[in-house]
Amino acid sequence: MANILVVEDDEIMLKAIKNILSKDGYNVILAKNGKEAFDKLEHADYDLVLSDLMMPYANGLEVISRLKNDPAKRHVSIIIVSSVGNEETITEAFRLGADDYLKKPIMAGELLIRIRKLLANRAVRHSL
């Protein structure tokens, strides 16, 4: 059972994603902003982080940057889920190390497929 950290400041979206992912069998931990995400990342290991971009205290780009600059956490996969859809931001997110990007409004099915694929690829990489 994979551990997924969901970072999102919109409480409705946070709960909705938690319900969708829990239904699919994932262990979901929630964080309401970037700062809370940093605290949670310090104290537990995650397989995947699902993060919004525009959040108080620390934005999604900072979350990616912090994760990818930490040798112990670099392996964690990151999916950005945001309504910010301009090319510059998407490019910047990928440059910093995001693995995937979903623009809101999202499709629940698509989110699950992308998570499954990312985790499967990650498992293959680990076994090599």
Partner 1 sequence: MWKDLTDLLYQAYEQFGFLPLFIEIALIFIGLALLATLIAYASILYKRWKGYIYEKRLNFITPKIEDMITEQVLLNEKLGSVPVDEIEFDPVALSDKIYKKPWVRQVMIDVLIQYRKNFRGEVGELLRKLYIDLILTKDSFDKMKTLKWERKIKAVMELTQMDIPISDVTILPLTNSQNPSLRAAARNAYIQLSKNDPFKFFDIATEPLLPWDQLDMFRIITTTRDISIPNFSRWVSYSTNKSVVSFCLKLIAHYDQRSAIPAVMDLLNNKDHYFRADAINCLGKLRAEIAEVRLQKIYDHQPLICQIEILKAIGQIASGKYLEFLKHEFSYSSNFDIRMNAARAIIDHDTEESRAIVKDLMTTTYEENRIIIKHCLNPLIKY
- 30: which 2 tokens? 């929630």
CB-CB contact of 115 with 48 (8 Å): yes
Residue count, binding to partner 1 (CB under 8 A):
16
Which residue is associated with the tokens 């392996």? 75
Q: Is 115 exposed, middle or buried (0-12, 13-18, 19+ CB in 10 A)?
A: buried
Closest to partner 1 by CB, 73 or 84: 84
Of the candidate residues 54, 110, 116, 121, the single one contacting partner 1 (CB under 8 A): 110
**Site residues (CB under 8 A) for partner 1, limited to 10-39:** 10, 12-13, 15-16, 19-20, 23
Nearer to partner 1, 20 or 29 (CB): 20
Residue 71 or 105 having the CB closest to partner 1: 105
Q: To which H or E segment does residue 44 belong?
A: none
Pairing of strands 48-51, 27-31: unpaired
CB of residue 23 to partner 1, shortest distance in Å: 6
Interaction site with partner 1 (CB under 8 A): 10, 12-13, 15-16, 19-20, 23, 83, 104-110
